[in-house]
Each structure stands twice: as structure tokens, then as C-alpha cells.
Amino acid sequence: MVDPDILLIAIVEMIEGVKNLIGDKGANAVLRDAGRHSGPRLLESLIGKLPEVLDKEEALRRTCMMLEELGFAKKVAKEDGKITVENDIFSDAIREENVERSPVIYFFMGLFEGFVQFMAEDKVVLTPQEIQKGRFVFSYS
């Protein structure tokens, strides 16, 4: 069995490799889209089809709870029009000193957006406000 920490490091290194191949903006767009596609598939494999379509605000709230439950972060909270993520699983694996430049952040944003779209059938777009190791703050629309 593969150690989950080793697997996470491999995924982050793969993401950083995409950045080296196609540049910052290309990697950010590709990885965000990858997150948007993998989020709904992950939820569908975990919980199946939802019996109802939720409104966007409820889907945002539940996404925060699920990301915590699945272990993506110790705390994911929605308040005052912002999403705050604390003690995420990706930060320690990012080698780049300037964390906000890592496409890993965009993968996380896409994953979040994909979760919401799966539950609400409505789009949400996260915008980074504060990105540092162990703490992300996004506004959403």
C-alpha cells in the first residue's frame, strides 16, 4: 500500500511539473479545470446521486463540511462572503516559497467549485484573497 503522504507529495510534484511544462497561467487554468472535473466525480463515487438539488449557499456550506471530513483541511469555513481554509493538506508539500504562485492552489479552488456545482447545479467562482502556507482565504461569486 502506498503511504498517503508520499502519494500527496507525488501529486503536488506532478502539478508543479505541469507548471514547468506549460507556464504559470496555463497550469493554473488546466489544474483548476481538473479540480472542477474531479470534484463531482469524487463526490459521486462517495455519496452517489444527490436526491435533491441544493441552493448555492447550502452547497457552499456543505462543501466546507465535506472538505473537512475528507481531510483536505482541518478547518474550512464560510462566513462574510469568504471561504477560509486552514491547515490544508497541500501547503506542506508545496516546495515553492511563494505559495500563491503554485497551481496546486488552483486545483484546490477547482475542487471546491466542482463540489458546489455537483450539489447545486450552479456555478461558483473562487477568487484568492490571501494565500499563505496553511491558510487560504477566497471570496466567491
Q: Could you read off the pLDDT of 23-44 as tens digits, one per residue?
A: 989 999 999 999 999 999 999 9
φ/ψ (deg, to 5) at 62: -70, -35
Domains observed in the chain:
4-140 (3.30.1380.20)
Higher pLDDT, 141 or 50: 141
Contact of 128 with 79, CB cutoff 8 Å: no
Q: What is the pLDDT of residue 136?
A: 97
pTM summary value:
0.90
CA 114 to centroid of chain Cα atoms: 9
- Give residue 125's pLDDT: 97
Cα distance between residue 24 and residue 18, in whole Å: 9
Give me the amino acid identity at 104: V
How do residues 86-108 score in pLDDT, each as one tens digit?
999 988 888 877 888 889 999 99
